[in-house]
Homo-oligomer: A and B are copies of this chain.
Amino acid sequence: MFIQIEPESDIPIYAQLASQLIEAIARGKLVSGDALPSVRSLAADLGMNMHTVNKAYHELERKEIIRIVPKSGAIVNPLSKDKIRVDHLERISIEIKPIIIEAIVLGMNPEAINKLISSIILSIKEE
């Protein structure tokens, strides 16, 4: 697996894992219908506990990015191309708002913010 965990980060490792799995989906390394590794095998693979991987998976399930089939496994949900549900948009909005405000206070104007986001999107698709 293409996961790199930084144990010394102040970001919990279950959150790092969840984040990198989302990134893998965004990059097309994981596509709709793909099965994720079992919590036990991925935990062994990454040298962490089964429950930590399980927590990351449930984080992704809560965001409806994967689906967990009890006693069976987890698979990547169909990603709605160029559509977004209102509740998802709401969550993204709540998550992103404080950062936008911080950016403004630190001196970024709307164009600069837009430019930053464009470069982030490019960096995802390229790397």
Chain A residues with a Cβ under 8 A of chain B:
19, 22-23, 25-26, 63, 65, 79-85, 88-89, 92-93, 95-110, 112-114, 116-118, 120-121, 124
Q: Given A80-B107, A107-B79, A107-B84, do A116 and B92 touch, yes or no (CB 8 Å)?
A: yes
Contact of A120 among B25, B93, B109, B120 (CB under 8 A): B93
Contact of A110 among B81, B110, B118 (CB under 8 A): B118
Q: State whether B104 touches A116 (Cβ < 8 A).
A: no
Binding site secondary structure of chain A: helix
Q: State whether B121 touches A104 (Cβ < 8 A).
A: yes
Q: State whether A114 touches B116 (Cβ < 8 A).
A: no
Residues of B within 8 A of A114 (CB): 114, 117
Give the shortest distance, in Å, between A89 (CB) and chain B (any CB). Answer: 7
Q: State whether A26 touches B92 (Cβ < 8 A).
A: no
Give the shortest distance, in Å, between A45 (CB) and chain B (any CB). Answer: 22
- Determine the distance from Cα of A116 to Cα of B91 in the docked complex, in whole angstroms: 12
Q: State whether A79 touches B105 (Cβ < 8 A).
A: yes
